[in-house]
Chain A
Amino acid sequence: MNGFRKEFSTLTLVLIPVAIAINVAIGQLAITLKLPLYLDSIGTILVGVLVGPWAGAITGFLANVVWTLSGLFPQAIAWAGVAAIIGALAGAFGRAGWVNSWSRAALAGIITGFVAAILSAPIAAYVFGGVTGTGTDAVVAMFRSAGLDALGANLGQGAVSEPLDKAISFVVVWAVMLALPLRFKNRFGNVEE
């Protein structure tokens, strides 16, 4: 619990809602632009990398609470735990220095993406009957037609979209970290430069 307290200054507390707003704004932008990506966890990953695993986890979890409460994507709450783990992983990768180069950031994203796919699939399969109520259900249908069951098809769908999405998100965060003033990064201290 000590690490938990250390991460939670007022500055972190203020950063988290801003990060959630970034998730929503860019996630909606991706929809408007009809990108085949979610790009809805850039803020979460940023908090993880900048502040640490606990803060990343809280950001991910509460981001999904906010998606639900806002009415934009009510089913989001079901994946809040997965979002928390994405944030925690981002914190761990940040601490390990993986987000200091774009190629390792991309690799961190790919790994995070696979973890997210594995954790999300059972939720879609067992809570939502094998769908998510979004456009990616077409991909799920494709996998089902290839003979996979609900879990397998959702895993397949996740494995197709998550690693690319998270790799791009991590690279965006890498670029943002480069651009952030050192003075600002020093206030959090998950990353040693």
Chain B
Amino acid sequence: MQSSSLYIERNSGLHALHPLTKLALLGLCLVLAFALPDIRWLLAAFGLLLLPLAAWGRILAPFARSGFSIILPFVISLALIQGFFAGGDTALLTLGRFAFTWEGLLAGLTVSARLLVALGGTLLLMLSTRPDHLMLALTERGLPQALGYIVLTALQIFPRFQDRARVILEAQQARGLETQVNLLRRLRLLVPLIGPLILASIVDVEERAMALEARAFSRPGQKTSLISLHDSGFQVLLRTGLLLAALALIVWRLLPLVRA
């Protein structure tokens, strides 16, 4: 019930990296995803950079599983929509007045590959980094602590809310909420369900706030942290390198535009 993030505990070099280092890696991946010129480069980046990193992090299987299930709907949508509507001369298939073209398919697959590289970078970070460590790293660099609190708490309490919603739903299913075809009817059944769900949780807010205050949450002054994140000179260098590489890529892609 409490696993509300993708994080998978493993003993690996990737896991041991400072969250900011992995964030810099994600930054590079995002730039790669939108700067690399064609699908071969993109697939090479995925196969030669991201997959080995996932293997190094001992998260290859979940990486592949999550990656596949997330990217698949994009591949289908993009291949179909671009295939039919992006134009091109090499028709592979004609349906009435619409031609499914090779050029369109390639364009769709290229966008898919871009998304795959971006997604891969995101997954590497998320699968190998505890959300609280990520937030701590950002808080240490000046992110307001309140934002970290909001994100971490939301991540931990929403499964609880989903459980409540599920309980309400199961109690109501007998009344034919799901089988009801008429949309308006279904909505009218839904509102009395979610109303109490919202109200009950909102009323708890007051006590939750007091409990936080009792823990000195809004005490002014410096706060400390029990956990300390491991960082090293090498990683600082690595982060700088990753960000410089990302910057170089951007310049390399934008230069022709500036000249023209």
Contact = CB atoms under 8 A, between A and B. Distances in A.
B203 to A, nearest CB: 7
Given A24-B158, A25-B165, A74-B70, A168 B187 contact: yes
A125 B206 CA distance: 42
Contacts, number: 177
B161 interface: yes
A11 to B, nearest CB: 5
Interface stretch (B14-22, B72-80, B234-242, B251-259): B72-80
Interface stretch (B43-51, B144-152, B224-232): B144-152
A160 to B, nearest CB: 14
Given A70-B5, A180-B202, A29 B161 contact: no
Interface in B73-98: 73-74, 77-78, 80-82, 84-85, 98
Interface residues of B, number: 66
Contacts of A71: 5-6, 66, 126
A2 interface: no
Interface of A: 8-11, 13-18, 20-22, 24-26, 28-29, 32-36, 42-43, 46, 58, 62-63, 65-66, 68-71, 74-75, 128-134, 137, 140-141, 144-145, 168, 172, 175-176, 179-181, 184, 187
Given A130-B78, A187-B206, 16 more contacts: A10-B217, A17-B154, A18-B202, A20-B154, A25-B158, A28-B162, A29-B169, A33-B178, A75-B70, A128-B115, A129-B111, A140-B81, A144-B81, A144-B84, A175-B191, A176-B195
